[in-house]
Amino acid sequence: MLFPATKIHFTPTLVPTIAALLVLLVTLYLGYWQQGRAHEKQMLQAEFDARGAAPAISLGSSIDMADPVKYRYARATVRGELLASGQIFLDNKFDNERVGFHVITPLKIEGTNRYVLVNRGWVARDTGYPLPPVVGVPTGLVNIEGVIVLPTSRFLELSQHTVQGTVWQNLTVERYRRESGRDVLSLVLLAREGGDALRPVLERPDARAEKHVEYMLTWYSLAATVAILWLALNTRIERTQQQTSRTAKGNER
């Protein structure tokens, strides 16, 4: 009687094995690196959430600007006078698929010669575009509460004409200092209440940890795929038919 027999031959060759090993090491390293980045971003997200839940800080004369990053997404209050003369409009800002401006107004902090830029909210373009709409500025001392954000400097400008009067394409604190000559803090306060028909600008703290988790899984999956392919391509399964001993003895008779 015939029975199937299986023989497994594993015959890896040198060059493909070295190549597979190199790819495996690189993908594992990249996966491990992204895993570390994901952990860092998760810790950063936890820090953002803690700042948002903490009591509001006061942007007064004692505020330390040596490391403004530590204030990012913290709640803050400030008292002072808004200056219409320094108000600017950031163009091409969207709200529910409508395009408009972010209204940025400097506030002179009470009791100091320092200023903080306040994002008072979003306003739609009107028929006078490219000129900005008329947005009033409250007079006298005001109290403003909001969330601290840091303007990004990571943008692409294809034209040198990025500042046209009060309409700006992008905002950096350094550019505002240079254009205005004012000593402004290295941060922007997103006002909780815009006023004057302005819609408050909301910015959700997001450290983007999920992005690094996706990258980590991609690299680890690629490493597993390389290992499986290397095993499959270097393994050959041979199936033969063998007779039992009883059948063999019967044939001898």
For 121, left (φ over 0), alpha (ψ -120 to 50), or beta? left
What is the pLDDT averaged over residues 39-53?
90
Long-range (24+ apart) CB contacts under 8 A made by 202-205 are 203/73, 203/147, 203/149, 205/45, 205/48, 205/49, 205/51, 205/52, 205/72, 205/73
Residue 223's φ and ψ, nearest 5 degrees, are -60, -45
Q: What is the mean pLDDT of residues 164-180?
A: 91
- Tokens of residue 25, six digits: 């090491």
Quick one: pLDDT at residue 156?
Answer: 63
Mean predicted lDDT score pLDDT of the chain:
88
Percent of the chain having pLDDT more than 70? 88
For residues 52-66, give the mean pLDDT.
Answer: 86
Where does residue 131 rank: exposed (0-12), middle (13-18), buried (19+ CB within 10 A)? Answer: middle
Q: Is the Cβ–Cβ distance between 70 and 76 less than 8 Å? A: no
Lowest mean pLDDT among 16-20, 40-44, 155-159, 242-246: 242-246
pLDDT above 60 (res 2): no
Instruction: Decide which of 99 and 66 is more confident.
Output: 99
CA atoms within 13 A on the CB side of 11: 6
- CB neighbours of residue 227 within 10 Å: 16
Confidence of residue 66 (pLDDT cuts 50, 70, 90): confident
Q: Where are the domains of the chain?
A: 2-40+209-252, 74-191
In this predicted structure, what is the pLDDT of residue 160? 57
